[in-house]
Amino acid sequence: MVMTHKERYLTAINHEEPDMVPVDVSFLDMIHVEKITGKKAFATGGGGGGGGIALTEEEMEMDLNEGMMRNQRLLNEALQKIDCDALVVSDYWLYPEGYSHQYLDENTYVDQWGKIYRVRADVKTTYWIGGIIKTPEDLDEYQPPDPDELCYDIVDFTVKEAGGEYPVVAWCHAGSMFPYLVRGGIDKLVLDVYMNPSFAKRLIKVIAETNIEIAKNILDRGVDMLAVSDDIADTKSPFFPPHLFREFFLPYTERIVRESHKRGIPCMKHSDGNLYPLLDDFVRIGVDGLHPIEPGAMDLADVKQRYGDKLFLRGNVDCMYVLPFGGEEDVRRDVRRCIDAAAEGGGFILADSNSMHSNVKTENIWIMVDEARKYGRYPLR
């Protein structure tokens, strides 16, 4: 029996075998969206969650929410065209009505969180360069966005468009990432944790509680899965020793998991890097799934063997080398590697190992989905 995209996705999340391995992509860059749909998108930001930026005269006349709605429509269209099994919304694309970024100069702006970005108009992107909180006194004056003043139209639209055919995955944050971006770097927050822990806890609390309220507003709009997307590790280890992560950050992740479960919605944890030292903690607080099990930092087959009965897994086609630089057979081989490692018994969603960023070859996205459809049918070979 052929399942709907939603049935297939939710069956895998529930650790059962669907008709075939579900396929998903993370953060599909608008460069790919434009190529897939043949339609022009509103310019968006890049690394560190840069938001909408107006680059043309037409875009400068738009409200940011209008631009984000254009992009959400095109993103939904692109995901359906390449035959993905889920639609995606993100808290990165939520703004108050009538909001505009504060420009420090022609090519530098501050977003609504206090993250500072540099604009590269020639390639339609931005990159994060710092944050506005330099001292404890800056935190006294700091105002995060009001969760109830944000426009959630892109969420409502996508839930309606998904209907009963597609699940909607909502990517949100829980206070482990924005604090170091607003502070101006992970190095600064690490020093704060050791040298001024009361300041660090206050900063994390202000941002995390705002993140959680935004997530609650999104959860109440009918999404099917929550993905907590704070990056908390590099390829060697988590940014903070486990005992410090448990003290400063984990309670907020636990709160967002509880809010998700209150509504009967599964919650997946995303982070690049080596998460082995924290996996037992995630299981203990009720996290349902893990993404992306970064190649080179973690081993997908090993995580499946050790945690596959506790966590569904989503990943981990290599987006560092294979998807940007590989040929067709390289992509197909990596898809088969992932399916062989983690798909048996269900509980696996095939996806990229971080995102479909701008350096990925668009044709490799099509190839990834095609190979998954051919090779990933249950019962597996």
302-361 residue pLDDT tens: 999 999 999 999 999 999 999 999 999 999 999 999 999 999 999 999 999 999 988 999
Give the model confidence (pLDDT) of 35-44 as tens digits.
999 999 887 6
pLDDT for 49: 62
Indicate whether 228 pLDDT > 80: yes
Asked if the structure places residue 34 within a domain, the reply is no
> Which of 286, 312, 343 represents a domain boundary (last residue)?
286
- CA distance to 147, 203, 206, 210, 231, per residue, from 215 (Å): 9, 19, 15, 9, 17
Give the residue, 176 or 102, on which the prediction is more confident: 176
Query: What is the arithmetic mean of pLDDT over 92-112?
Result: 90
Indicate whether 217 pLDDT > 60: yes
Asked if the structure places residue 73 within a domain, the reply is yes
Mean pLDDT of the chain: 94
Scored b (16 or more CB within 10 A) or e, 199-235 reads bbebbbebbbebbbbbbbbbbeebbbbbbbbbbbbee
pLDDT for 60: 64
pLDDT for 229: 95
Query: What is the arithmetic mean of pLDDT over 109-131?
Result: 86
Asked if the structure places residue 52 within a domain, the reply is yes
Query: What is the arithmetic mean of pLDDT over 201-206?
Result: 98
- Considering the domain architecture, whether residues 141 and 279 belong to the same structural domain is answered as yes
Asked if the structure places residue 1 within a domain, the reply is no
Asked if the structure places residue 31 within a domain, the reply is no
Model confidence band, residue 266 (pLDDT cutoffs 50, 70, 90) = very high
Asked if the structure places residue 70 within a domain, the reply is yes
At residue 47, what is the residue type? G
Cα 42 to Cα 220: distance, rounded to the nearest angstrom = 27
- Considering the domain architecture, whether residues 140 and 228 belong to the same structural domain is answered as yes
Cα 34 to chain centroid, rounded: 20
Residue range of the domain that includes 363: 6-26+292-381
Which has the closest alpha carbon to 346: 315, 308, 316, 372? 308
pLDDT for 44: 65
Asked if the structure places residue 33 within a domain, the reply is no
Indicate whether 263 pLDDT > 80: yes
CATH no. for residue 224? 3.20.20.210
- Considering the domain architecture, whether residues 50 and 78 belong to the same structural domain is answered as yes
> Which of 231, 252, 286 represents a domain boundary (last residue)?
286
- Considering the domain architecture, whether residues 280 and 319 belong to the same structural domain is answered as no
Indicate whether 301 pLDDT > 80: yes
- Considering the domain architecture, whether residues 166 and 245 belong to the same structural domain is answered as yes
Query: What is the arithmetic mean of pLDDT over 264-269?
Result: 98
- Considering the domain architecture, whether residues 22 and 97 belong to the same structural domain is answered as no
At residue 151, what is the residue type? C
> Which of 244, 268, 286 represents a domain boundary (last residue)?
286
Give the model confidence (pLDDT) of 66-96 as tens digits.
889 999 999 999 999 999 999 999 999 999 9
Indicate whether 125 pLDDT > 80: no
Q: How many domains does the chain have?
A: 2
- Considering the domain architecture, whether residues 313 and 248 belong to the same structural domain is answered as no
- Considering the domain architecture, whether residues 251 and 327 belong to the same structural domain is answered as no
Model confidence band, residue 45 (pLDDT cutoffs 50, 70, 90) = low
Query: What is the arithmetic mean of pLDDT over 24-40?
Result: 93
